[in-house]
Amino acid sequence: MTKRIGVIAVLLVAVLALGLAGCAQQPSASTAKVLKVGAETTFPPFEFQDEKTKEYTGFDIDLMKAIAKQMGYEMQIQSMGFDALIPALEAGQIDVIASAMTITEERAKKVTFSKPYYKSGLSIVVKSDNNTIKTFKDLEGKRIAVQIGTTGADEAKKIKDAKVREYNSTSEAFLELKAGGVDAVVNDLPVNQYYLAQGGAKDAKAVGEILNAEEYGIAIAKKNKDLADKVNNALEEIKKNGEYDKIHEKWFGKKMQ
Ligand code: GLN
């Protein structure tokens, strides 16, 4: 009996020692695997800098944190222009793109997209006192501001005789609208809604039908098949365990889909 207790005691000490050793290792971030996430970080509410803390925040940021954690990685954001993201991924400077990036055929030739993670679409924003633009058709011949390299830019370029001006960020496009340099902004619906809700509605409004056939995906380099599988598995897992819904609710309120 005493011998048995002795054995148990020794085992307990061993387990404790191992546990402590494990704890001691955890805080050294250098041993954790890092997932480099590329994003254009002026696209609220998906990715932007918190004014006070200067930390990156938003739906995509929270989503990627959850996905990285699920995969056993730490996430690190690398901020760059939207049109620089795919080249950076191809060059191996980043591991994934999470930047409200719409899954398109054109992009899918260059990158592997995860399963869709957010349904989106495009919409039009004009100045509050504009009563002539009510539909995409009304944009014919008009000056339209867009963000460079986006689906909004592609759509605007399809409009007859439109003068499309491309800006590095959506906020610059909105500033140009405010300044009267353009007649409209064509951009992702949830981002337009957020802009209007955050004060933009003082002198701008949303008009027209919504083109809602877009879905966002996480992009992974074509050669990185393993990573694409891991990202998809993690995404599926956080959808199952309720984490995705929590993040969605935090940024958009209760899910309606
Ligand atoms: N969803 C749009 C696109 O993929 C815009 C994305 C963005 O500006 N971050 O083109």
- Rama region for 138: left / alpha / beta (φ>0; ψ in -120 to 50; rest): alpha
- Atom index in ligand 1 nearest the CA of residue 102 equals 4
Task: Identify the pLDDT of residue 25.
Answer: 45
pLDDT at 152: 97
Q: Domains (ranges, CATH) in the chain?
A: 31-117+217-252 (3.40.190.10), 120-214 (3.40.190.10)
Q: What is the block-wise mean pLDDT of the chain (257 residues), using blocks of 10 residues?
A: 58 52 47 91 97 97 98 97 97 98 98 98 97 96 98 97 97 97 98 96 95 95 97 98 97 74
**Does the C-beta of 41 come closer than 6 Å to ligand 1?**
no
pLDDT at 254: 74
Q: How far is CA 65 from the centre of its chain?
A: 11
| pLDDT of the residue at 253 | 87
Give buried/exposed letters for 219-251 (b at 16+ CB in 10 A, else e): bbbeebeebbebbbebbeebeeeebbeebbeeb
The atom of ligand 1 lying closest to the CA of 101 is 4
Q: Say if ligand 1 is within 6 A of residue 167 CB.
A: no
> Can you give the pLDDT at residue 13?
53
pLDDT reported for residue 14? 54
- CA nearest neighbour of 138 among 123, 157, 155, 160: 160
Tokens representing 27 are 């805080």
What DSSP character marks residue 201?
G
pTM for the full predicted model: 0.86
**CB 62 within 8 Å of CB 50:** no
Q: How far apart are the first and last CA of the chain?
A: 62
Cβ–ligand 1 distance for 187 under 6 Å, the answer no
Q: How far is the CA of 101 from the centre of ligand 1 (A)?
A: 5
Residue 251's pLDDT is what? 97
